[in-house]
Amino acid sequence: MSDAPVSAPKDFIREMIAADVAAERSGGWVITRFPPEPNGYLHLGHAKSICLNFGLALENAPHARCHLRFDDTNPTKEETEYVESIKEDVQWLGFSWGDHLHFASDYFEKLYHFAIQLIEKGLAYVDDQTLEEVRANRGTLTAPGVCSPFRDRSPAENLELFARMRAGDFPEGAKILRAKIDMASPNMNLRDPVIYRILKAHHHRTADAWCIYPMYDYAHPLSDALEEITHSLCTLEFEHHRPLYEWLVDHVEGLPAKPYQREFARLNLTYTVLSKRKLLALVKEGFVSGWDDPRMPTISGIRRRGYTPAAVRAFCETVGLTKFPSVSELALLEHCVREDLNKNALRVYGVLRPLKVVLTNYPENQVEEVELVNNPEDPSAGTRKVPLSRELYIDAEDFMENPVADFFRLVPGGEVRLKYAFCITCEEVIRDASGGIVELRCTYDDATRRGAKPVGRPKVKGTIHWVSAAHALDVEVRLYDKLFTVAQPEEAAGENGNFTDYLNPQALEVVTAKLEPSVAAAAPGVHYQFERVGYFFTDPKESQPGKPIFNRTVPLKDSFPKAK
């Protein structure tokens, strides 16, 4: 069913389910579902729900399963593209729905007849009010709603009108079907909620067979019951919808099961937004290149950026489940990504901001090979050889002409070790016509190979990486950073502001880096650690054979403050 490891963290949901299993409720079975609407791409908030629902099925196997069911009840916003992307996301996270791929549209005929049953019982009626009038008459938290003038239509009249709604006799907005519950209920969701509306729109699966569509709050509980779901797990915003869920399950006859709903706090994350509506706005308004832009918190975006399924699952487990809203730190997610990639990513040398170094005492035409470890965390990864010659590139950030305190890298007259090679000393700084530093002239100490300490000189404190200038590859590297400049952009924008005002203009920087020649063969979709720099991923969409493009997944931790 999954290649995801089975773990069983403790939380109130799992304690509830364990008690149900012990009491043999539903025969001891645990049947969950993940019910996305195919109106956009999934994001990290959905990942939490996916890991919960599919994880519970794994933890309670063999008497458990999880369904993937698409809530495709709004054809004006839904597309097959979104269906396929959601399926891909769930599988990428390591989960499988097996034979249990379902759609709310599978049940349109049954849902229609359930509505007829409610009408016959006097529990539903056709209303001629517009949706705007319904909202206006719903009342407030302190005042009851106003009953529709059509609330007391007879079942016979309602049945006729509902059949004509299905037949397409009325234009959109002319009539709706409402459940007849309680216009004075303190729960606004029970004030005769709309359960069907007229939509003359083409459906991605049923084409033009229907012109009336059920509302989510109606279709969801009844679809759960039809699939014999035991535990319908939702985020907290659906807590006040639970009484309607239970009302429908209790009042519709002939259901094979009576599931129940419980809620948990949704995932909120710093420096991003987790709202399909807002993410769609970023795509539509051109702030990002698409749903899979690596700056996006969509699952397709983080996948392209190089996040791993194991890291996302570990993050969701670490965040856990609570009943209270909270905001999780992006830094925690990045920590989980680093923890996974540190064990698995191949190491290479890459210089993002090249500064040329000439070793004046190194033979001009000599090229040697230096053996480097591919992954110090994994001895089985072996070693590789990279060329070393008289002219090198180091990162410009590893040189400081006027060093601040505790800067232990290269400075004029100072000495630093080239990792896996030898120590060098900066003798001269070369500038261009505008005064910019373009080259460093250095000498090397052959006696300091293989980690040998300098003789008669202070201990060398700094070690830096490098690439041979003659052999370096020019490679496009995309440096991704936080999507927003503030931790909570929606809160910062307030009710009348625009969250896009806080987009980070430095969320993407494209540089031409100098990389060791081994990366020429890098395949799309492979993780690397650029030593001392960060974790990178060959872009699976735009990389080509012999011409990789690298996306920065996360930087390495840097305890040293950048000089200003």
| Residue 370 maps to a domain | yes
- Are 38 and 89 found together in one domain? yes
Burial class (CB in 10 A: 0-12, 13-18, 19+), 77: middle
**Bridge-based pairing state of the strands 473-480 and 508-515:** antiparallel
- Judge contact between 466 and 421, C-beta under 8 A: yes
Domain stop point among 264, 285, 313:
264
Whichever domain contains 385, its CATH number is: 2.40.240.10
Dihedral pair phi/psi, residue 411, rounded to 5°: -140, 160
- Are 459 and 502 found together in one domain? no
Query: What does the pLDDT read at residue 153?
Result: 97
Give the number of domains in the chain.
3
- Judge contact between 332 and 267, C-beta under 8 A: no
107: helix, strand or coil: helix
pTM (two decimals): 0.92
Domain stop point among 472, 507, 540:
472
Query: What does the pLDDT read at residue 4?
Result: 57
- Are 104 and 177 found together in one domain? yes
Domain stop point among 211, 229, 264:
264
Which one is catalytic: 14, 110, 166, 266?
Answer: 266
Q: Tell me whether residue 84 is one of the annotated catalytic residues.
A: no
247: helix, strand or coil: helix
Which of 19, 33, 50 is closest to 230 using CA atoms?
33
- Are 244 and 279 found together in one domain? no
Domain that holds residue 220: 12-264
Which one is catalytic: 65, 69, 153, 276?
Answer: 276
Whichever domain contains 308, its CATH number is: 1.10.1160.10
Which one is catalytic: 14, 25, 37, 151?
Answer: 37
- DSSP state, 350? E
Q: Tell me whether residue 37 is one of the annotated catalytic residues.
A: yes
- Judge contact between 215 and 108, C-beta under 8 A: no
Tell me which residue has tokens 């990639």.
341
- Are 362 and 250 found together in one domain? no
CA dist 238 and 234 (Å) reads 6
CA dist 17 and 24 (Å) reads 10
- Evaluate the omega torsion of the peptide bond into residue 62 and state whether it is cis, within 30 degrees of 0: yes
Per-residue pLDDT reduced to its tens digit, 455-490: 888 899 999 999 999 999 999 999 999 999 999 999
Spell out, as residue ranges, where the chain has pLDDT lower than 70.
Answer: 1-9, 558-564
- Are 494 and 432 found together in one domain? no
| Residue 129 maps to a domain | yes
Whichever domain contains 260, its CATH number is: 3.40.50.620
- Are 295 and 382 found together in one domain? no
- The end-to-end CA distance of the chain, in Å, is 53
Query: What does the pLDDT read at residue 8?
Result: 61
Query: What does the pLDDT read at residue 5?
Result: 53
| Residue 3 maps to a domain | no
Query: What does the pLDDT read at residue 501?
Result: 96
Which of 534, 513, 525 is closest to 337 using CA atoms?
534
| Residue 250 maps to a domain | yes
| Residue 401 maps to a domain | yes
| Residue 38 maps to a domain | yes
- Are 540 and 447 found together in one domain? no
CA dist 443 and 367 (Å) reads 16
- Are 103 and 155 found together in one domain? yes
